[in-house]
Amino acid sequence: MLSRDWLKGVERELLSRSLPRQEVARLVAELADHLADALDGTLVPDVCPVEGPVPSLSVPSSKTEDVMSMEANVIESLGSPTEIASVAVREFQRRKPLLSRSWVAAACAFVLLPLPALVVGWGLALALAVGIAAGLEKLGIPDPAAAHAVSTGLVVGTYVVLYVILLAPAAGVSVLFVRLAKKTARAGRWGLVACAIVALATACARLDASFSELPGKSTLTLGLQIGDALPWSSLGQFLIPLAIGVLALWRQQGRLSSPAAV
């Protein structure tokens, strides 16, 4: 059938120009529907799923010659597969977001923005922790540190809170930039770059607390350690946000490559 050969030609042209398979399948299905409408229902499109074969058009044998003539006229009016593919690619490029069209925009977004976003995340987490502490104090819940008795529970609890403040925003920023990378032409590459930058900055963060039973002598240190040898604890600070970001990236890439993805 002329229509089937033409649709296959359109599909080959679209795939050769690196259009996503989901977009190719959508366009081919729409063209098959348009052919059927143009032929006044003489042809009935058999539209298949995204990963299936090219939609076929079944024709009654008694009308083969008339239908082929009509098909030839309709196909000629629509244009060649090359022309159809050129128009489709231009339209697809026009709809693409800036991060997908511009390498410079993507580089600025995924190289320069992760660190400021991470600092903002840390600030929000610290403010939230202070707000929770103030709220508990207003509710009359006693502060364990107010008794000035250094216990194992106090030490462990303090470090748990500190590492939650450090790692939760780092993991959140990694996932945020992985999702943002979906808008680029190289989601895997840019997502991994952003995750690595966040992980490196988190590894350089320094957390320390000293406890004293004397009032006002306990100290809390938050900062960045750059240039000096990093302690072994920095390895965990590096791996946790990186692993969470890579996991989010892997799941996202799996969904995008799935036939059911849209």
Range with the largest mean pLDDT of 10-19, 102-111, 125-134:
125-134
The one-letter amino acid code at 207 reads: L
Model pLDDT for residues 157-200, shown as the tens digit of each residue? 888 988 999 999 999 999 999 998 887 767 788 889 999 999 99
CB 58 within 8 A of CB 44: yes
Please give the angle made by the CA atoms of 160, 166 and 168, to the nearest 5 degrees: 90
Helix (H) or strand (E) holding 163: helix 152-181
The CA–CA distances, whole Å, from 46 to 33, 53, 168 equal: 9, 10, 50
How large is the average pLDDT for residues 80-99? Answer: 71
Please give the angle made by the CA atoms of 91, 189 and 202, to the nearest 5 degrees: 135
CB 167 within 8 A of CB 235: no
The CA–CA distances, whole Å, from 97 to 112, 253, 256 equal: 19, 18, 17
The overall longest dimension of the chain from CA atoms, in Å, is 101
pLDDT score of 44 more than 50: no
Q: Residue 133's pLDDT is what?
A: 80
pLDDT score of 114 more than 90: yes
